[in-house]
Amino acid sequence: MKRVLALDMLRGYALVCIMLDHMPLGYLRQVTLTNFALYDAAELFVLLSGFLVGLVWIKVESESGRRAAQWRFARRAGQVWLALVLGGILLALLSRLLLDAGLPHKAIWNRYAEWVIEAPLGYAAVLAVMWLQPNLLDVLALYVVLLASAPVLVPLLLRWPWVFAAGSLALWWVAVPVNAMLPNHRVQGGLLFNPFGWQLLFYSGVAMGAFRHRFMPVLRRHSGWLTLTATSITLGSLAMVALWRLGPEGKRLADSMWQALGKVDKWSLAGARYVAIIAASWLVAVPLAGAFGWMAASPPGRMLARIGRGGLLAFVACVMLSVLGDAVAGALPRTIPFRLAVDLWTIAILWLSSDLWLTLRERRKPTLG
């Protein structure tokens, strides 16, 4: 399937934001997505992942049948689960090495570094059954659940889209108590990223990818008011997270907006966050499509696209680099040049690791064929 460069660029941007957001001393974390919208890179990553699932499912099913599509995503769920387990072990080992080297870090909980040495089999086991999800990798646990559900739920979505949408919305509505019933190491139970809430965003992305040729012509006939509505929502989202920078008056206005919305919970996917990213997706796909296409073709855009194509390796690398960058930054003078240098170094290493992985994979394809 032909790659969509702008989608790869956005996936790469999401991974870079995830990495920078988890480096407490980073300088560039001030300009990541979470500083300009109600949602952050996690929502962007999940929505794009759902969209790509929809694209790929339709292509595979049309060429090889539904069984092939189901098997593909069941296998992918297993790959993500393996990345969660191995990534959790590598993350704990890296943390242990850094602590032994006198490089403390705040990006992850230091107890993982103790458990992986004191009880390695037990630590691996609780990762394998997803009773424990190390922070920074916890979104992979969500991704495992969503992908594992795809072989069963995507056919239902394709056959009865409106019924599916109603069921997805109903499940999102009761997501908090249902998630709390899942056994987990957290006192309140359940996964940190509530899969019963986040499925709404993921399957919205799947529907966008699967039905885009059917609904986009209809939506484009109403593009004027849709763009106006999406722009208003996006500007409101920006105002809520940025007005405090304008002084006391701006902060008071932002506070009143937050109070009007009530609790905007990330972990169960608050409705305001969902609406904000759906509105932004319309702007990216329609009025700003040309601008994003131009950005994707630029050198920085191509670099981000390379990261976005790195898949699971790029995700695990971004998490490891968050911890490593946090430790290195803590050992250096806390001035802007040093903080910026660490940020740029981690981005460069993330790009290099993705590029090397993709180069090796591309070289193997002719041999395997």
Which segment of 23-32, 169-178, 183-192, 328-337 scores lowest on mean pLDDT? 183-192
Average pLDDT, the chain: 95
Instruction: Check if the beta carbon of residue 74 is closer than 8 Å to that of residue 148.
Output: yes
Which value, to the nearest 10 degrees, does the dihedral of the CA atoms of residues 191, 195, 198, 202 take?
Answer: 130
- Report residue 333: phi and psi, to 5°: -55, 140
Summarize pLDDT for 88-114 with one digit per residue, the tens: 999 999 999 999 999 999 999 999 999
Q: In which band, very low, low, confident or very high, does the pLDDT at 80 lie, cut at 50, 70 and 90?
A: very high
* Rounded Cα distance, 15 and 347, in Å: 10
230 burial type by CB count under 10 A (0-12 exposed, 13-18 middle, 19+ buried): buried
Kindly list the domain boundaries of the chain, sorted by start residue. Answer: 5-368
Q: In the structure encoding, which two tokens stand for residue 10, read together?
A: 């956005």
Output the pLDDT for position 38. 95
Summarize pLDDT for 141-175 with one digit per residue, the tens: 999 999 999 999 999 999 999 999 999 999 999 99
Alpha helices in 174-310 (DSSP H): 175-180, 195-220, 223-242, 248-261, 271-285, 289-297, 299-308
